Structures are given as structure tokens and as C-alpha cells.
Amino acid sequence: MKRPLSIRQQNILNYIKDFMGKNSYPPTVRDIQTGCEISSTSVVDYNLQILQREGHLQRRREVSRGIELLGESAASTLRNLISVPVVGNIAAGEPLPLANTEQWNDTDFDNVDLPPFLTKGKENVFALRVKGESMVDALVGDGDLVLLESIEQPQNGDMVAAWLKDREEATLKHFFLEGDKVKLVPANSYMQPIT
């Protein structure tokens, strides 16, 4: 059975809910300190530990915004999430064959629920799971999900899922247009660009 929360703990919990409702991401400890007019971050940390122990939230201390609401506390923030299809895998290394995109159907894919700020209000966003290590210097590792927007013409330096027509394969790289040639550059100094 959960113990009743102190006024300060209830204020912190309400602040976190309100902050997440407005921003779609959790506050930092410093945000909570300022927003709740608490004297120090250690007092915030102490109360967050109690809220975690009582099952109101979960914390990942290694992440500055690592607060996740649980149970009833989370219910009010979940309605703001949007669903993005995970349409397959993308090579970050050697290119991989990709399914025929003309045959894609929204019901064919798993979805990931995300806060709206990650898609910046764009509707043509999809996710791919990364296979390989060619983008590790861009902090994209094997198994990560990348969010991509379907666009006609990328800008130099954009990270793109590029379709290699001659190989009928797709790869995740940085895009550069050099004259009339496209250069796909990995974010890994041990790997060569594709020209």
C-alpha cells in the first residue's frame, strides 16, 4: 500500500505531469527545483527517491531527463503520444536489401509511440532499426531506431536512408552532392564512403 505523499512530493509529481504534458519530455532535476521553488537539487533528489520507492515514477540517473511516470501518474501523459511505423531494418555498414516500398501498408509494421516533439509535427515520419556500426560517430549504434522523414532532396550532411539502385539495397549514411555525383559517407573513420 502506498503511503500518502507529502505536500512537497505531490507538488513535484504534479509539476512533472504538467511539464511532460506541455513538453512531451520529462524535466531535469534542476527544472523541478526551479519550478517547485525548492532550495536545492539534493532536496529534489531525496523526494524523487521517495516517489520512486512508492511506485509513482522510475528514474534513470545516468540520463538528465531520465524520469518516467508509472501507473496512474503516467496515464495523463500517454494520450499525447503519436504512433510511428517501424518499417524495417537499415544497414549502417554493408547495404541491405529492402522490401518494395510501393507495397507498404501501415498494418504491416510494428509501431513505436513517441512524444510529438521528436517528429516536429511532420506526418511523413517513419522509423528504421539500424544494423551495423557505420554511424557510431554520429551516436547511432547497432539496434538503435532512427526516425526519418520521406523527402525528395536531402541537404549536404543530412543523414539519409539511401536506396542504391544498382544493388537494390539500402544504407544509412551522410549525404553529400559533389557536382552531379552523390557521395554517401559513414560516421565511422574505419569505413569508406560509397560513391
- In order, the DSSP letters of 49-98 are HHHHHTTSEEE-TTSTT-EEE-HHHHHHHHTT-EEEEEEEEEESSS-B--
As beta bridge partners, residue 176 has 183
Catalytic residue among 22, 173, 183, 189: 173
Catalytic residue among 134, 150, 165, 181: 134
What are the DSSP E strand ranges found in the chain?
A: 57-59, 67-69, 82-91, 110-114, 125-131, 145-149, 159-164, 169-178, 181-185
Q: Which of 150, 177, 169, 165 is nearest to 185 (CA)?
A: 177
Q: Evaluate whether 130 touches 80 at the Cβ level (below 8 Å).
A: no
Active site (annotated) includes residue 42: no
Collapsed DSSP state (helix, strand, coil) of residue 144: coil
Active site (annotated) includes residue 122: no
Q: How far apart are the first and last CA of the chain?
A: 63
Q: Which of 153, 151, 195 is nearest to 173 (CA)?
A: 195
Which residues are known catalytic residues?
Answer: 134, 173
